[in-house]
């Protein structure tokens, strides 16, 4: 009996190996002083009890982006998180549990928005990037690549605002960029350059915990930035 084209395609597909596809999420947060990454203690073998990124397998009826969003929501309880696909990790022996290809994502959240109950449920902990512990599989490699991508990205786009409170001081903003780039910046030059973009709106309100005089709060004007971005804005 002759086989039709669809049947031939099915036979062709079945002749190839089946692989598991996973997502792993590098979640960054900023505590006002240090840039940190959120990790969990792995609750199952292989490598049970060791530090890991939050991840999971892609379900049959979801895209990898949807899987990453689901994993992030399960860990943080948050939705509408800034998330970006980072890289595909597919070394044959990367996971001793089986043949797993992982698509890594990095995400930015406000630390204060994170649900403490979920943190305890998942045995999660924030680690400063300078004090990242040993991690399972190739997760340390994922972390390094995500940090490099973040540094590249914030030079062109103001995604760093996703790590700050809705209102912030210029000092807090500078502290964030110093944490991302791991170097000190000249205060006068930073302030002049940031304000020159005209994408911050100054509030008639001051933060007075740091000094008696206080520093004015600002908010990010996303609409104004989007108009400027079309003209090829180089942020920093």
Q: What structural domains and CATH numbers belong to the chain? A: 12-154 (3.90.79.10), 164-229 (1.10.10.10)
Per-residue pLDDT at 153? 92
Per-residue pLDDT at 224? 82
Q: CB 105: neighbour CB atoms within 10 A?
A: 27
Residue with tokens 């003209």: 231
CA 63 to chain centre: 18
Helix ranges (DSSP H) in 170-233:
170-181, 187-196, 222-229
Per-residue pLDDT at 69? 96
Residue 9, both tokens: 């395609």
Per-residue pLDDT at 110? 93
Say how far apart CA 53 and CA 76 lie, in whole Å: 13
Per-residue pLDDT at 124? 93
Per-residue pLDDT at 1? 46
Q: Rounded to 5 degrees, what angle do the CA atoms 56, 59, 62 make?
A: 115
Give the global pTM: 0.90
Residues of the chain below pLDDT 70? 1-4, 6-10, 211-212, 229-236
Say how far apart CA 38 and CA 211 lie, in whole Å: 31
Per-residue pLDDT at 79? 87
Q: In a 10 Å sphere around its CB, with 0-12 CB exposed, 13-18 middle and 19+ buried, how is residue 14 labelled?
A: exposed
């Amino acid at each position: 009996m002759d086989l039709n084209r669809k049947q031939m395609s099915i036979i062709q597909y079945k002749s190839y190996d089946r692989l598991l596809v996973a997502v792993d999420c590098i979640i960054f947060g900023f505590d006002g002083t240090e840039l940190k990454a959120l990790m969990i203690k792995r609750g199952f073998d292989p490598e049970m009890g060791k530090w890991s990124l939050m991840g999971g397998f892609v379900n049959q009826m979801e895209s990898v982006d949807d899987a990453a969003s689901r994993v992030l929501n399960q860990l943080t309880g948050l939705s509408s998180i800034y998330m970006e696909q980072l890289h595909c990790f597919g070394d044959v022996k990367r996971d001793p549990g089986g043949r797993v290809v992982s698509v890594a994502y990095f995400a930015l959240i406000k630390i204060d928005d994170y649900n403490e109950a979920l943190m305890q449920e998942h045995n999660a902990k924030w680690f400063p990037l300078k004090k990242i512990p040993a991690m399972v599989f190739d997760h340390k490699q994922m972390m390094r690549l995500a940090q490099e991508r973040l540094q590249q990205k914030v030079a062109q786009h103001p995604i760093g605002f996703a790590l700050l409170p809705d209102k912030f001081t210029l000092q807090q903003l500078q502290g964030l960029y110093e944490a991302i780039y791991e170097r000190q910046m000249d205060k006068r030059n930073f302030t002049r350059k940031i304000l020159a973009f005209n994408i911050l709106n100054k509030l008639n309100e001051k933060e007075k915990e740091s000094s008696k005089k206080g520093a004015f709060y600002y908010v990010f004007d996303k609409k104004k930035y989007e108009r400027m971005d079309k003209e090829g804005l180089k942020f920093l």
